[in-house]
């Protein structure tokens, strides 16, 4: 179906016959007024040329209304672009927007992964541009990955080394292997964490792709793959290794490895298994100590199992302080940049996203996202949580109040209220039904037209199913395309959506005594995800510390007091 143009203009019809601009000169016939017809042709031509000139001048002056949006035919119109003519050159702007300000490499076949370059057309250009240093480091990393990636000579050499009983000093390629654990939001947060760690420690990131995660993301690095080959010699990486003797924490606890900085390379194991799932113990948490990092730098292969966002802890390491400052001058943009760099939905998932967006959300003047996630703890009834969602939305003026004054609504000569689309993302359909009924049964006090949509309501999470994960990824991306967002406490799904979209959401706060709290929500300090379970231990003093009070740019989360997040 052909999409309608959003600017309200019809495509001009073209005539099959065109009159010549200048008629051939001929003698005046009796009864005619000589050369009048030819003169009018000159007038028409002059008027046409003048109109073209005015249109050109208007387009150069940047006259338009106030935001970037997308026409139905996929053309980006930047309505805020005023001023510098060189900077506003369409070809320069289009390229910068397409590559996210230098974040993405241009070295891909666009049709193999349409979302990589087309996703920029579906949201406003982010004012949070990547640093030139980050862009340069990503290009350098891509070259390293191409040299050391799967099935290369250096990769095969490293795998052969892995089969030995110790690491090799100064090996050309070292690796960070990510293994899947928990839901899709958790996985995306930990992949980004693993990638930043690989970037800092000059490792190559490889991810284990299982059946349920196949056909979710495109390859992020040109000319190579980030997928761990199926014949990788370490098996059973996805199972829970909490009590396994192969975890780094248990190896330290049982004194299997020597943490001395002067330990010989022969005593360093060929790989270590880092267990940082949210129930990790003290010895697992020693990974966050700088002394342990000096030891881990000697290990050729690191395997990570985690379901939490580890990035804030990296900013406490003095050895990477300068590097991180150059990579992320605005510290609350880490996942915003890394997520948009790494996670490009495959064509099958992108088709889900764009079909839904264009069918239900594209024509709205404002899009409001409500991400509603409930847990078994703390307990709260449907009625109470629904009341909290609505109370937050009305209190913060994200949604308009309703009225019973139907006559006032009907007496309007025309509807002047702007249309708003509400995107409800939840496992459950009851919240959507209630909100839809609220605005179907009552007019709004502002005259705004509210449409409510929900893509799916699976009722239960099925991370083990591929089609469930594809739809979950589509919903995460749809959330990232809204203008304002309400998220649920403790939800990694919401964390990913807000960060990809560059949104600072209103967070629904924890219930109190099974009741909706007052206030019902609070504005997030930043778009960054929360590190839900940080390490409360100072490795040097061997004492308990508060990681949310050490530096000004790491603060406690709105939705989990014991968690920490990056702010700027």
| 512, 484: one domain | yes
Question: What is the length of the chain?
Answer: 568
| 490, 507: one domain | yes
Helix axes 132-148, 153-162, angle to 10 degrees: 70
Q: Using an 8 Å Cβ cutoff, are 174 and 300 in contact?
A: yes
Minimal CA–CA distance to 191: which of 304, 85, 27? 304
Calculate mean pLDDT across residues 49-75: 36
Q: Is residue 275 part of a domain?
A: yes
Report residue 264's pLDDT band, with 50, 70 and 90 as the boundaries.
low
Whether pLDDT at 333 is above 70? yes
Give the pLDDT of residue 237.
72
Domain end (from 288, 315, 342): 342
Give the pLDDT of residue 103.
96
54, HSE (Cβ side, Cα atoms, 13 Å): 6
Task: Give the number of other Cβ atoms within 10 Å of residue 115's Cβ.
Answer: 21
Q: Is residue 168 part of a domain?
A: yes
| 330, 360: one domain | no
Query: By percentage, how much of the chain surpasses pLDDT 90?
Result: 67
| 336, 367: one domain | no
Based on its alpha-carbon atoms, the radius of gyration of the chain, rounded to whole angstroms, reads 29
Report residue 430's pLDDT band, with 50, 70 and 90 as the boundaries.
very high
Give the pLDDT of residue 331.
97
| 336, 352: one domain | no
Give the pLDDT of residue 27.
34
Whether pLDDT at 19 is above 70? no
Is residue 317 helix, strand or coil? coil
Q: Is residue 368 part of a domain?
A: yes
Whether pLDDT at 189 is above 60? yes
Give the pLDDT of residue 84.
34
Burial (0-12, 13-18, 19+ Cβ within 10 Å), 333: buried
- Start-to-end Cα distance in the chain: 45
**What are the strands of the beta sheet with 271-276, ordered from one edge?**
204-207, 175-179, 301-306, 271-276
Domain end (from 319, 342, 365): 342
124 or 52, which is more confident: 124
Cis preceding linkage at 378, omega within 30: yes
Q: Is residue 108 part of a domain?
A: no
Give the pLDDT of residue 559.
94
| 173, 281: one domain | yes
Q: Is residue 228 part of a domain?
A: yes
For 546, phi and psi rounded to 5 degrees? -105, 105
CA distance 553 to 232: 39
Give the pLDDT of residue 62.
33
Give the pLDDT of residue 425.
97
> Measured in whole angstroms, how far is the alpha carbon of residue 71 from the centre of its chain?
22
Whether pLDDT at 546 is above 70? yes
Distances in Å between the Cα of 435 and the Cα atoms of 183, 381, 452, 522 are: 27, 16, 7, 21
Domain end (from 318, 342, 366): 342
pLDDT tens for each residue of 486-513 = 999 999 999 999 999 999 999 999 999 9
Report residue 10's pLDDT band, with 50, 70 and 90 as the boundaries.
very low
Give the pLDDT of residue 136.
98
Residue-range definition of the domain harbouring residue 445: 347-566
Residue 410, token pair as written in the block: 């009907």
| 294, 353: one domain | no
Mean pLDDT of the chain: 84
Is residue 169 helix, strand or coil? coil
560 or 61, which is more confident: 560
CA distance 514 to 523: 22
Q: Is residue 106 part of a domain?
A: no
Whether pLDDT at 16 is above 70? no
Give the pLDDT of residue 20.
31
Give the pLDDT of residue 418.
83
| 378, 252: one domain | no
474, HSE (Cβ side, Cα atoms, 13 Å): 22
pLDDT tens for each residue of 397-408 = 999 999 988 777
Judged by average pLDDT, the poorest of 210-224, 239-253, 283-297, 323-337 is 239-253
CB within 8 Å of 74: residues ≥ 6 apart: 118, 121
CATH number at residue 519: 3.40.50.11350
195, HSE (Cβ side, Cα atoms, 13 Å): 24
Query: By percentage, how much of the chain surpasses pLDDT 70?
Result: 80
Calculate mean pLDDT across residues 528-557: 95
pLDDT tens for each residue of 128-182 = 999 999 999 999 999 999 999 999 999 999 999 998 877 888 789 999 999 999 9
pLDDT tens for each residue of 554-565 = 999 999 999 999
| 371, 291: one domain | no
Whether pLDDT at 34 is above 50? no
Q: Is residue 91 part of a domain?
A: no
CA distance 278 to 309: 10
CA distance 274 to 296: 10
What is the residue-wise DSSP string for 89-122?
Answer: -HHHHHHHHHTGGGTS-S-S-GGGGHHHHHGGGG
Give the pLDDT of residue 156.
96
Which of 50-59, 122-131, 167-176, 217-226 holds the top average pLDDT? 217-226
Calculate mean pLDDT across residues 422-430: 97
| 334, 427: one domain | no
| 323, 356: one domain | no
Whether pLDDT at 76 is above 70? no
Whether pLDDT at 58 is above 60? no
Q: Is residue 20 part of a domain?
A: no
| 365, 491: one domain | yes
CA distance 175 to 274: 13
Q: Using an 8 Å Cβ cutoff, are 498 and 508 in contact?
A: no
Calculate mean pLDDT across residues 119-128: 88
The count of domains in the chain is 2
239, HSE (Cβ side, Cα atoms, 13 Å): 6
Calculate mean pLDDT across residues 415-440: 92
Whether pLDDT at 515 is above 80? yes
Report residue 260's pLDDT band, with 50, 70 and 90 as the boundaries.
low
Give the pLDDT of residue 415.
58
CA distance 290 to 316: 9
Residue 69, token pair as written in the block: 């949006």
CA distance 555 to 541: 21
Strand partners, 204: 175
Calculate mean pLDDT across residues 195-217: 95
Whether pLDDT at 187 is above 60? yes
């Amino acid at each position: 179906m052909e999409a309608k143009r959003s600017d309200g203009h019809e495509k001009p019809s073209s005539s099959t016959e065109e009159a010549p601009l200048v008629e051939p000169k001929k003698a005046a016939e009796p009864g005619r007024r000589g050369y009048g017809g030819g003169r009018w042709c000159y007038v028409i031509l002059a008027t046409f040329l003048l109109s073209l000139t005015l249109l050109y001048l208007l387009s150069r002056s940047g006259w338009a209304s106030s935001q970037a949006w997308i026409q139905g035919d996929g053309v980006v119109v930047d309505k805020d672009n005023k001023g510098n003519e060189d900077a506003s050159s369409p070809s320069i702007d289009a390229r910068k927007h397409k590559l996210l300000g230098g974040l993405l490499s241009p070295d891909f076949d666009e049709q193999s992964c349409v979302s990589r370059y087309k996703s920029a057309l579906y949201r406003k250009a982010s004012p949070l541009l990547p640093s030139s240093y980050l862009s340069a480091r990503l290009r350098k990393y891509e070259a390293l990955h191409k040299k050391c990636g799967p099935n290369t000579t250096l990769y095969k050499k490293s795998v052969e080394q892995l089969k030995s009983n110790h690491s090799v000093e100064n090996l050309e390629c070292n690796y960070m292997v990510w293994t899947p654990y928990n839901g899709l939001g958790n996985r995306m947060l930990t992949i980004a964490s693993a990638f930043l760690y690989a970037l800092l420690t000059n490792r190559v990131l490889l991810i284990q792709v299982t059946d349920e995660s196949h056909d979710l993301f495109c390859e992020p690095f040109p000319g190579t793959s980030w997928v761990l080959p199926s014949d990788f010699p370490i098996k059973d990486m996805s199972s829970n290794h909490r009590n396994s003797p192969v975890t780094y924490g248990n190896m330290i606890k049982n004194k299997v490895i020597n943490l001395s900085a002067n330990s010989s390379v022969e005593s360093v194991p060929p790989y270590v298994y880092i267990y940082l799932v949210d129930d990790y113990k003290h010895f697992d948490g020693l990974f966050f100590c700088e002394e342990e990092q000096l030891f881990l730098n000697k290990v050729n292969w690191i395997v990570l199992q985690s379901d939490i966002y580890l990035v804030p802890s990296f900013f406490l390491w003095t050895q990477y302080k300068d590097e991180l400052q150059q990579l992320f001058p605005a510290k609350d943009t880490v996942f915003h940049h890394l997520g948009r760099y790494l996670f490009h939905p495959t064509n099958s998932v992108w088709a889900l996203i764009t079909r839904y967006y264009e069918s239900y959300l594209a024509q709205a003047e404002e899009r409001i996202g409500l991400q509603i996630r409930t847990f078994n703890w703390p307990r709260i009834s449907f009625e109470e949580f629904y009341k909290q969602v609505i109370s937050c939305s009305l209190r913060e003026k994200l949604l308009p109040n309703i009225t019973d004054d139907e006559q006032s609504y009907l007496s309007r000569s025309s509807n002047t209220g702007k249309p708003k689309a509400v995107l409800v993302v939840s496992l459950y359909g009851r919240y959507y039904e209630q909100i839809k009924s609220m605005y179907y049964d009552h007019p709004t006090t502002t005259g705004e037209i509210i449409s409510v949509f929900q893509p799916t309501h699976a009722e239960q999470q099925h991370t083990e199913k591929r089609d469930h994960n594809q739809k979950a990824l589509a919903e995460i991306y749809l959330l990232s395309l809204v203008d304002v967002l309400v998220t649920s406490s403790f939800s990694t799904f919401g964390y990913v959506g807000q960060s990809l979209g560059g949104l600072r959401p209103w967070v629904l706060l924890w219930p109190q005594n099974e009741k909706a709290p007052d206030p019902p929500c609070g504005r997030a300090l930043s778009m960054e995800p929360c590190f839900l379970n940080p390490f409360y231990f100072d490795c040097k003093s061997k004492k308990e510390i508060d990681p949310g009070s050490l530096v000004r740019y790491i603060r406690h989360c709105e939705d989990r007091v014991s968690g920490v997040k990056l702010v700027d």
